[in-house]
Structure 1
Amino acid sequence: MTSALRIEGGTPLTGEVNVRGAKNLVPKAMVAALLGSTPSVLRNVPEIKDVQVVTSLVELHGVAVDLDKETGDLRMDPSNVSVAQHADIDAHAGDSRIPILLCGPLLHTIGEAFIPDLGGCRIGDRPINYHLRVLEEFGAQVEKLPTGISMKAPAGGLKGASITLPYPSVGATEQVLLAATMADGKTELKNAAIEPEIMDLIAILQKMGAIITVETDRQIIIEGVSELKGYQHVALPDRNESASWASAALATGGDIFVRNASQKDMSTFINVYRKLGGGLDIREDGIRFYHPGGDLNPLFVETNVHPGFMTDWQQPLVVAMTQAQGVSVVHETVYENRFGFTDALVRMGATVQLHRDCLGPTPCRFGHKNFKHSAIITGKSQLHGTDIHVPDLRGGFSHIIAALTAEGTSNVTGVQVISRGYEHFVEKLESLGANFEVVK
């Protein structure tokens, strides 16, 4: 696995990349297969680290997994689901936060579950309290151990519950869906997340036999069933990867056709991209993103839960904003520490000021809490190459974009983190004409 790149910037990225299934859906769809009494087939699966981690975890629990890397077809047979050793789960989970989502299905199928201490990108507080509270609402008995958290299903199995999330958390919504589909009785979930990946997970569960109604005002009703079958499903394309390549095209002055990019899942991003001055050619088989020439426009962006501007989109786009003529403002309302990646941009010559105030019309959870969650970006800035260590997935890809935009040489370490969510990104950079070498 590539861990470091030496990048010579200043070359526009041009060409075509192909985007496969969404990182924010595929691992959860794999977990859902645990609920089926027959095998499931998931198509359009990317070769990313999160898929490898979940494959290892479900195999530890007795699921037979077969991936055709060429077609992206993944077959999962859960007919021999069993208990796994805690130490093995800990070893295979690594820094992934996916294990928490295995709990509901495992409580249904084998009556117990264990999760190790969880990692993930360090972009802000992502407590598992939502998840634990949800599972306890269904009747799970939760015990905190020195090595992690152990859970057992109550006699008679999980029961339906009425749950209101304090925030429309994607992970907590997924937890409810995976636990409620086979719980005894009806579950009412209020303040649910409604991201496209959530809707695709619901589609998968419906194919398996679940009864799920999505109502207005972020309310989802799940009527528990006694058995679910396997599914066949094509994963929706990764809108985050599509947006990242779009930002790379704009920042470097390039022209990239992102095959399989989906307009309907990226409409908010497309609007912002146009306002920034980016060129677009929307086709049935993908979207062409390009720099049309001339100056880019400064603009205001506020991240939010769907259908708002997605938080995963802002980091790559901030790099493009450094190339706009004037003052841009970004108000981050989802994660409180998502601007750590800008330290490297400043060292490269960007003008970025971070603020604790909500520099936007929407009062967010982080106002008056001393988090630097708003940014003012003043451009146009000439970036210069420097040494960078990748902090997290999206911030890391943003650093790659910045290095490609900059004048001179950048040495980027820790790039293996990017493989968590970007399939074959080094090969894709090469195909787009990026000037770099892999450092052993």
Structure 2
Amino acid sequence: MKSLLSETPNAQAGEKGMTGETLAIRGGRPLTGRVEVKGAKNLVTKAMVAALLGETASTLRDVPDISDVQVVRSLLEVHGVTVVDGEEEGTFHLDPSGAVAAHFEEIDAHAGASRIPILFCGPLLHLLGEALIPDLGGCRIGDRPINFHMDALRAFGAVVDKSYEGIRITAPGGLHGANIDLPYPSVGATEQVLLTAVKARGTTELRNAAIEPEIMDLIAVLQKMGAIISYEPNRVILIEGVDTLQGYDHRAIFDRNEAASWACAALATDGDIFVGGARQQEMLTFLNVFRKAGGWFDVREDGIQFRRGGALKPVVVETDVHPGFMTDWQQPLIVALTQAEGRSTVHETVYENRLGFTQALNQMGADIVVHPQGIDAPDRRVPRRALEQAAVITGPTPLHAADVEVPDLRGGYSYVIAALAAEGESTVRNVGIIRRGYEKFFAKLDALGADFDVVD
């Protein structure tokens, strides 16, 4: 009998603190049914931080009940922001009027392994003149240097001091507009610039900016608050600083990462899953690859239905920044590709360690060879990067049960789906990490007919 009592995330749990759960999964059964996706983790957490910039309270809707959201809520409350649940499920009212400075120890205790504290810098500098950043964590999928963030803050006039506790950032003369050219269209660095530039004196020009849908939705949030932001061709964003901002009322963009994950689960288990809340426009690139791999989908007004359209086919995929194929999409897709007839290749160009999860899939019977230095190919569209890797998946190979341990958020989801597609009973450990980005994960699996038990 399934136990869903542990669905509520622990607000103070970091990545290591959420690893105490194990699933016993009996596979070989298609996942069928309907799941709903709420707001995107990669927008909601940033919009919550943006509430610090307003002089009045903000309302954020479609907030998912995931641990990353609870971490940000705790951090806001440590800084004196009042966060109240609204009558509508998934609604937060955020009042920054009581905002105060916090100590390193408080921030560190509530942040856990999250990297969210770094995005508090700009708003806190505007509000309090100081920001503190403890050691940063996050999923162990590759190098995520903070130098992009620190260089951007220095360009705005901030002073960055390092200590044994972490990083102390001040702005003795206030923050001013800047000309910033990112060496890579980093989502986090783009968010940092946006959250800092909106109240900096003068105009900021950001070149080589990330343009993911979640970035555009954050810009919409800031514009509602009174910011003046325009998007120019060729990844250029112009921000004219304003003196004051007000609160916002905003419904978050849907989580396209979760939507793609359930779509891949339908492929891998030969199931039929309707993802309520998913939209076509933000998933165009994914849907093209899904169709090439043998998937079938039906776009409806309230979501998208996903299933196989016949035998699965091999594909070649290159991950890239938007509008390319997202790095978060490749892990669950690789599970499905183990059942495709032929040889698929996935070029991972965003993170250098994101293919390590394939070792466990090989233990389950997959035939995946990882090339640590990537693979040259004449038809490559994404420019090669020094850190890239490639995975060659040969299929179809029947998957069988195994005992595996979740390494990170997307890899962990992929292990669960692989176990559901495999014959026999698998043990998947450290599944708590998955709730960093998947709301009501156990309940959704149950609704789709998955056969599993929470064993600790």
- TM-score normalised according to structure 2 size: 0.94
The one of 112, 118, 129 aligned to 1:100: 118
Partners of 1:300 and 1:330 within 8 A in 2? yes
Equivalences for 1:255-404 in 2 at 5 Å? Answer: 255-292=272-309, 294-355=310-371, 356-360=373-377, 361-362=380-381, 364=383, 366-367=385-386, 373-404=389-420
Partners of 2:320 and 2:382 within 8 A in 1? no
The one of 159, 164, 182 aligned to 1:146: 164
Residue 433 (structure 1) aligned with residue 449 (structure 2):
yes
Partners of 1:329 and 1:359 within 8 A in 2? no
Residue 134 of structure 1: aligned partner: 152
Partners of 1:164 and 1:191 within 8 A in 2? yes
Q: CA deviation at 1:359?
A: 4.2
Residue 233 of structure 2: aligned partner: 216
Mapped partners of 1:195, 1:115: distance in 2:
25
Residue 8 (structure 1) aligned with residue 23 (structure 2):
no
Partners of 2:347 and 2:374 within 8 A in 1? no
SS at match of 1:339: coil
Residue 250 (structure 1) aligned with residue 270 (structure 2):
no
CA offsets 1:247-287 (integer angstroms, 9 cap, x no match):
00110000000000011100000000000001101101000
Name the aligned partner's letter for residue 363 of structure 2. Answer: R
Mapped partners of 1:81, 1:152: distance in 2:
17
Unpaired runs of at least 5, structure 2: 1-5, 8-20
SS at match of 2:370: strand
Mapped partners of 1:344, 1:139: distance in 2:
47
Q: CA deviation at 1:78?
A: 0.4
Mapped partners of 2:384, 2:76: distance in 1:
36
SS at match of 1:25: helix
Mapped partners of 1:424, 1:363: distance in 2:
35
Mapped partners of 2:208, 2:384: distance in 1:
15
Structure 1 residues 276 and 27: alpha-carbon distance in aligned structure 2, compared to 1, 3 A threshold: same
Partners of 1:45 and 1:73 within 8 A in 2? yes
SS at match of 2:356: coil
Name the aligned partner's letter for residue 261 of structure 1. Answer: A
Q: CA deviation at 1:363?
A: 6.0
CA offsets 1:100-141 (integer angstroms, 9 cap, x no match):
000000000000000110000011110011001110110111
Partners of 1:66 and 1:75 within 8 A in 2? yes
Q: CA deviation at 1:291?
A: 1.8
CA offsets 1:133-177 (integer angstroms, 9 cap, x no match):
11011011110111110111122x101000000000000000000
Q: CA deviation at 1:400?
A: 0.6
Name the aligned partner's letter for residue 74 of structure 1. Answer: F
The one of 172, 190, 208 aligned to 2:207: 190
Mapped partners of 2:91, 2:337: distance in 1:
38
Identical-residue share of aligned pairs (%):
63
Mapped partners of 1:271, 1:325: distance in 2:
18
Partners of 1:185 and 1:223 within 8 A in 2? yes
Name the aligned partner's letter for residue 255 of structure 2. Answer: D
Q: CA deviation at 1:27?
A: 0.4
SS at match of 2:361: helix
Structure 1 residues 365 and 117: alpha-carbon distance in aligned structure 2, compared to 1, 3 A threshold: farther
Residue 28 (structure 1) aligned with residue 58 (structure 2):
no
Equivalences for 1:163-182 in 2 at 5 Å? Answer: 163-182=180-199
The one of 39, 46, 54 aligned to 2:57: 39
Q: CA deviation at 1:366?
A: 3.5
SS at match of 1:395: helix
Partners of 1:331 and 1:359 within 8 A in 2? no
Equivalences for 1:236-247 in 2 at 5 Å? Answer: 236-247=253-264
Q: CA deviation at 1:69?
A: 7.9
CA offsets 1:16-55 (integer angstroms, 9 cap, x no match):
0000000010000000000000000000000000110000
CA offsets 1:332-381 (integer angstroms, 9 cap, x no match):
111111101100000000000111233441464544x6x6x101000001
SS at match of 1:265: helix
